[in-house]
Structure 1
Amino acid sequence: MSKKIILITGASNGIGRETALTLAKQNYQLIIHGRNSERTKEVYDEIIAAGNHDVSMITADLSLMSEVVKFADQVKSQVDHLDVLYNNAGGQFGLEREVTAEGHEKTFAINMLSPFLLTKLLLPILEKSDSARIVTQSSDSYRSAEPILDDIELENHYDFGSTYGLSKLYVWWLMRGFDEHLKAEGITNVTVNSIEPGTALDTGLQRVSGKIPEMQQLMDQYKEYSWSIADAASTGLYVITSPDLEGVSGKFYGNKQEKNIESKWLSESGQKQVWDYTKKTLQDYLV
């Protein structure tokens, strides 16, 4: 039996690194991604040193959609099918709204637009798997702000905390959309689920926002309650590997169990607006 092929974005530190090292010991074939080539190479070398030589690494800035396209092309040049796509890379930024060179607010670019585009571009090789899983990192922070659907990238309503929370709400909605579209098309060999990692502070996510005094105070306040990186990675590993989840799709998991999401965070019309906005925004990269 051939090894399952797993792609992990954001594998150069934190939860992604922990996930990659754990899966390497379980003898999966891995493609690891990182934004920083040196840190990604360190994880790559750790995997090789642990005895798993079925690993490759690709570096890309996934806040830029042009790089997401190049990244997806590199993946498709390496493998003819993909068994797991783990959309783990993410970011939280500063007090002032910043946009990428392509004109998108940075938080939404990496947390929402990038997972949508990468998932869309890699669907053809995921569909070639006997049983593929798309697993996307959301966050319990989805509850932190009310959607502003006439200003999705918050050009006029930016706040670093609520921006992060909304990006994680919207990416969950997008993954629900993928699940619905796959089911409508009769594609049963690809599942789509979202996860949240619990209260983990030392993940690399706060590489920018962690410099903000208010965030530093919050992190200090909750430090004693923070989960370990291993605990934070456990739900992703569960959803990636558990035989109990074979064929299960459209769910949200936390602490290795399905979460019961309050109905106030579910909106068919809101989900459609976010889906349509994202698809239109990325249309030039989907040709």
Structure 2
Amino acid sequence: MKKLIMITGATDGIGKITATELAQKGHHIIIHGRNEDKAKRVVNEIKQITGNEEVEYLVADLFSMDAISRMVKKFNDKFDHLDVLINNAGAVLNDKRYVTKDGFEGTLALNVMAPLLLSQLLLPKLRNSKESRIINMSSGTHRLAKPDMSDLNLEKVPSGQARYGIAKLFVIWNTQHMSALLQKNRIHNVTVNASHPGAVATNFGQNSNNGWLNDFIYKASLKLARWLRLDPRKGAVTNVYLADSDTVQGITGKFYNNKKHQIKPATKQWTAKKEQRVWDYYMLKLKPWLDADAIF
């Protein structure tokens, strides 16, 4: 069955591969990008590769909650439903702390708040689908995260890599929490899961500056991935599976590795109280951009 699928960060890397493979399967694809010219080029490229003419794009700077809201409005004006939202976009930022114009630490804005806001604003369209799915990209680096629950805007975390790991841990917690809320509110036609792409040979994180030791280790691992020919397509396998496969219908609140296997995320830092605290904090911060009658 053909699905309407939106993929963020889909003009490069794993997102682009995910979009191409899902277009190849005949789905209607909407890629998100930050640069309109590049998004147009990628749309044309995917059409040529797949022969699928139902490939479109939307543009937004995901560091800006206003831009996300405008993008959702454009989507709402054109479509009456959404079958799959893949929150793929994410990045490791520099050690030097970046604060967005909305006052949010940049790593959190892009990796946590953008997917959370998109999921909330697009929930009415997802509910209009007979069976819809949200897929949030996390990372194995969440296992190293040690969040300070009194510092949820990461003002005291000096490392870009550490901020990224914390953000990806929070993505998993928000995924679990939203899944539980959907079930509690008897919204059984919307599922939400998280995935980890594994180590693949892309340019992800290659331009970040996190101190010589962190950068050396991180970039060396990506060079090793290239040397071992770890195909970037492997990083898209799980998201394509979660978006397209009938075998995951109805499954929600879970975490998947890069081999399509459901695994347990790290639980050392988790408590129900912490999960609730993270959800409440970011939902409160996003309140200016949420509908007054939002369910959650």
- TM class by shorter-chain length? over 0.9
TM-score, normalised with respect to structure 1: 0.95
C-alpha change, 1:33 and 1:220, in structure 2 (3 Å) is closer
C-alpha contact (below 8 Å) 2:142/2:266 kept by paired residues: no
Structure 1 partner of 2:105? 105
Q: How does 1:155-194 map to 2 (within 5 A)?
A: 155-194=155-194
SS in 2 for 1:194: strand
Structure 2 partner of 1:43? 42
C-alpha contact (below 8 Å) 1:6/1:83 kept by paired residues: yes
How far apart are 1:153 and its partner, in Å? 1.6
2:134 is the counterpart of 1:134: yes
The residue type paired with residue 171 of structure 2 is V
C-alpha contact (below 8 Å) 2:256/2:263 kept by paired residues: yes
- The sequence identity of aligned pairs, in percent, is 36
C-alpha contact (below 8 Å) 2:143/2:266 kept by paired residues: no
2:259 is the counterpart of 1:280: no
Task: After superposition, give the CA deviation of every residue in 1:69-106 in whole Å (9 maximum; x if it has no partner).
Answer: 11111111121000000000111111210111111111
Q: What stretches of structure 2 of length at least 5 have no aligned partner?
A: 292-296
C-alpha contact (below 8 Å) 1:191/1:248 kept by paired residues: yes
C-alpha contact (below 8 Å) 2:159/2:210 kept by paired residues: no
Structure 1 partner of 2:143? 143
The residue type paired with residue 35 of structure 1 is R
TM-score, normalised with respect to structure 2: 0.92
How far apart are 1:154 and its partner, in Å? 1.1
- Structure-1 separation of matches of 2:34 and 2:134: 21
> How many corresponding residue pairs?
285
How far apart are 1:207 and its partner, in Å? 5.0
The residue type paired with residue 82 of structure 1 is L
Structure 2 partner of 1:250? 253
How far apart are 1:200 and its partner, in Å? 2.3
C-alpha contact (below 8 Å) 2:161/2:214 kept by paired residues: no
Structure 1 partner of 2:240? 237
Provide the aligned C-alpha RMSD in A.
1.6
Structure 1 partner of 2:294? none
- Structure-1 separation of matches of 2:121 and 2:60: 15
Which 10-residue stretch deviates more, 218-227 or 114-123? 218-227
Runs of 4 or more consecutive aligned structure 1 residues displaced over 4 Å after TM superposition: none
Structure 1 partner of 2:10? 11
- Structure-2 separation of matches of 1:76 and 1:234: 29
How far apart are 1:176 and its partner, in Å? 1.0
Task: After superposition, give the CA deviation of every residue in 1:108-131 in whole Å (9 maximum; x if it has no partner).
Answer: 000001110000000000001010
- Structure-1 separation of matches of 2:264 and 2:154: 28
How far apart are 1:214 and its partner, in Å? 3.2
How far apart are 1:212 and its partner, in Å? 5.3
SS in 2 for 1:206: coil
C-alpha contact (below 8 Å) 1:64/1:101 kept by paired residues: yes
C-alpha contact (below 8 Å) 1:139/1:165 kept by paired residues: yes
Structure 2 partner of 1:21? 20
Q: What stretches of structure 1 of length at least 5 have no aligned partner?
A: none
Task: After superposition, give the CA deviation of every residue in 1:145-201 in whole Å (9 maximum; x if it has no partner).
Answer: 211110012112332111000000001111111101100001111111000000125
- Structure-2 separation of matches of 1:34 and 1:139: 21
SS in 2 for 1:6: strand
How far apart are 1:245 and its partner, in Å? 0.4
How far apart are 1:215 and its partner, in Å? 4.3
C-alpha contact (below 8 Å) 1:201/1:219 kept by paired residues: no
- Structure-1 separation of matches of 2:142 and 2:57: 31
C-alpha change, 1:107 and 1:220, in structure 2 (3 Å) is closer
